[in-house]
A and B are shown apart, each in its own frame.
Chain A
């Protein structure tokens, strides 16, 4: 099959561009780099480490629950385990892993040299990492959060949880919101300002629609979590009464704030993963995605509707039936955009010519798991039946089908698809098949029976259960399946490590993919594109075969090889507007994040001095960071 040969830079060009863009070796380069590709890979590796930590916590829980009346762990340990498992997976794995893909890929997908705010990008990684380390330092003192990932008050107030456990929770999440917020701002501005000329908004990959929606959701939903965590901390530390019913507060205020944030967050961690599938699936089906516009609109619609369904987490709190009906109806309605995406994928496979690789298998599996998680979600949308389902293992099953089925299987598909681009080496296909089938079978064996234990009346968050209720067998099956699934995840890690070292060379475009990242070498050079392309269609590398008359120009155009610059274009039509000067590597981001860490530890151990020192450091670093370099001032005069 004919592929457009990627234009190779001349040696002189390459050398000039490398001098400008390459991260310096040594410690300064390590801590100071602002290269989106390095940051993206760090995001991916770090979030996979958190995935393994959360998985290890789950494994211990499954051993405890394999049989009735077991005492492998104490109730205290169990409660910390399930809380840390949930918090880790939801906050430090599921969203950051997608940020990793976005960070690595976005500039490559849009023909840019970096993100809009490269130093902010580094900052969002360092705050992600340090907030995670902050959270896990609770393990060292044996006081990890133990209030469940949604930490309902008053159980999590100081009266019933006097230790540091919930202080770690509130502060670590506040810390993480900083990372997510600056990341979201960076993605939105990058998408609207840095696309290569000609890449109008209807030519961006669906993955970018997913992350764009996710970023706006973050900006509007995450403050609800911040407000809730600030209130929780103030109630615990200073004795305010936000959630104290005896003094005019109300425990349901926490639930409203948490779920106003919490439900959009579900879409935050799935929409980009759905986008990965929407973009990678067509490559293996040898045709463009069916219904690009419908899927893009469905993505945005889901993000918006996601703000109107939070009360379906509160169907048992005694709200009036009218309120239940409204939120129940909204929860039914949000199914439609998902159904649109599912049938777009099926239609793409049906009308395409599927090439079955591991990545494709993960995507096919993803569709099936998506549907199972979707229909069980519809069952929980029906308010009166949800009053039975809520807080049982049925909901545990549902949320794992959503989070693992959609997020992790989408991520795995994306890893198999883009690993060659990231490393220049192919993942092993044979190991990949083993990887997929153990994960897929293990997952279903482990998590499908949870629906049944839920239907049999087993509540979630119990550290043990009595014999004789019909729960033993299903729980044993669940445990066996969970461990099989864990083996599958370890096979993925093994494949990553092995192929990183010994995998076959990938070449620029091993899958014959249609989008811009496949037009450059694997791994990409530090400057990404030697020539900034001019984009003519949604599938620049398939134009010769699609015969739509579009023509993307890859070989000639601006090289920008004098200074560290990239192109700025208009938000919708991507008409060239300016040349942007990009920042050099800098230690400000990492130092600023360290300063914040000091602030949060000060708040944790109630040391005003430490918080103050950290705060002053942060302030000074902020001014230094934003102070213009002499060169910029000269450039302006």
Chain B
């Protein structure tokens, strides 16, 4: 870029975010709307229900509580990795990404175990359809996040990132934090709220 910048004289250096970052933020915004509509659907059908909701009583929290903790922890490791490369520590980036990958994968596995223990399926009743679709959509987002992390992990080991040159890491970490935040909303709506109804 040096030749092009040379023509321009002075560049104003402020806190500038790249177009890629803006793009990721807008993607997150529209995905947030997607989950908002899914949760709207959940509460709408709950409010219109003429029989008990959820039909089999509030969902058990034994698996999901530790699993939620795990996902929050993965947000922490992602932050640790990203702040590492911000100060140029490549090793911390690599280790942090690997930890995040493992935590995310365990989350999905436990989610799968929880699915197998459910007494209903997506075709049992509307509640089942909502439960599996909403948690499934979230799971798909976790999976997509893990794929992104896997790619940047490979790139981290190839030495693609340095201090001041790690846009992909920053964008993926935002996405990952978003996925975790969405989980808190899903968790509160689907798992906690029936216990207070």
Contact = CB atoms under 8 A, between A and B. Distances in A.
Whether A and B touch (Cβ < 8 Å) is answered with: yes
B59 interface: no
B127 interface: yes
Contacts of A563: 1, 3-4
B125 interface: yes
A466 interface: no
Interface string B1-17: 10111011001111010
A193 interface: yes
A226 B35 CA distance: 11
A224 B40 CA distance: 10
B44 A256 contact: yes
Q: Decide if the interface of chain B is mainly helix, strand, loop or mixed.
A: helix
B19 interface: yes
Interface string B172-187: 0000000000000000
Contacts of A193: 19, 22
Interface stretch (A139-147, A161-169, A233-241): A233-241
B141 interface: no
Interface string B39-71: 011001100110101010000000000000000
B126 A249 contact: yes
Contact of A219 (B29, B44, B151): B29
A224 B162 CA distance: 40
Contacts of A253: 41, 44-45
A363 to B, nearest CB: 32
Contacts of B41: 227, 231, 242, 253, 257
A636 B14 contact: no
Contact of B30 (A223, A240, A242, A619): A223
Contacts of A222: 30
B5 A579 contact: yes
Given A219-B29, A240-B122, A565-B4, A578 B129 contact: no
Nearest to A252: B48
Measured as residues with beta carbon below 8 angstroms from the partner, the interface class of chain A is 35 or more
B4 A578 contact: no
Interface string B93-105: 0000000000000
Contact of A580 (B19, B49, B162): B19
A596 B1 CA distance: 35
A220 B29 contact: yes
A17 interface: no
Contacts of A633: 160
B7 A239 contact: no
A208 B22 CA distance: 18
Contacts, number: 153
Contacts of A636: 162, 165
Contact of B16 (A120, A230, A257, A570): A570
A568 B21 CA distance: 13
Contact of A189 (B26, B38, B45): B26
Interface in B100-144: 122-130, 133
B55 A238 contact: no
Contacts of A580: 19
A188 interface: yes
A580 B128 CA distance: 49
B22 A248 contact: no
A238 B122 contact: yes
Interface in A192-247: 192-194, 219-224, 226-227, 230-231, 234-235, 238-242, 244, 247
A576 interface: yes
Contact of A220 (B30, B53, B147, B151): B30
A576 B31 CA distance: 31
Interface residues of B, number: 49
A116 interface: yes
A574 to B, nearest CB: 11
Interface string B141-174: 0000001000100000000101001001000000
A117 interface: yes
B14 A248 contact: no
Contact of A577 (B16, B44, B127): B16
A580 B4 CA distance: 10
A10 to B, nearest CB: 15
Given A563-B3, A578-B11, A619 B147 contact: yes
- Give the most central of A239, A240, A558: most B CB within 10 Å: A240
Given A219-B29, A223-B37, A249 B11 contact: no
B126 A241 contact: yes
B27 interface: yes
B23 interface: yes
A248 B49 contact: yes
B91 interface: no
B151 A224 contact: no
Interface string A249-262: 11011001100100
B11 A577 contact: yes
A163 B23 CA distance: 39
Contacts of A252: 48
Contacts of A221: 33
Nearest to B164: A636
A219 B30 CA distance: 5
A552 interface: no
A558 B19 contact: no
Given A231-B133, A241-B129, A562 B3 contact: yes
A80 B54 CA distance: 39
B37 A230 contact: no
A116 B44 contact: no
Q: Which 5 A-B pairs have the closest CB atoms?
A: A248-B126, A240-B129, A223-B34, A249-B126, A219-B30
25 contacts: A117-B19, A117-B23, A181-B30, A184-B26, A185-B26, A193-B22, A194-B19, A220-B29, A222-B30, A227-B34, A234-B133, A238-B122, A240-B128, A240-B129, A242-B126, A244-B126, A248-B53, A248-B55, A558-B4, A568-B19, A570-B14, A575-B12, A577-B14, A619-B147, A626-B151
Given A230-B133, A570-B14, A633-B160, 20 more contacts: A184-B30, A189-B19, A222-B30, A227-B34, A231-B41, A234-B122, A238-B122, A238-B123, A240-B123, A240-B128, A242-B133, A247-B125, A250-B126, A568-B16, A575-B14, A576-B12, A579-B5, A581-B1, A626-B168, A628-B168
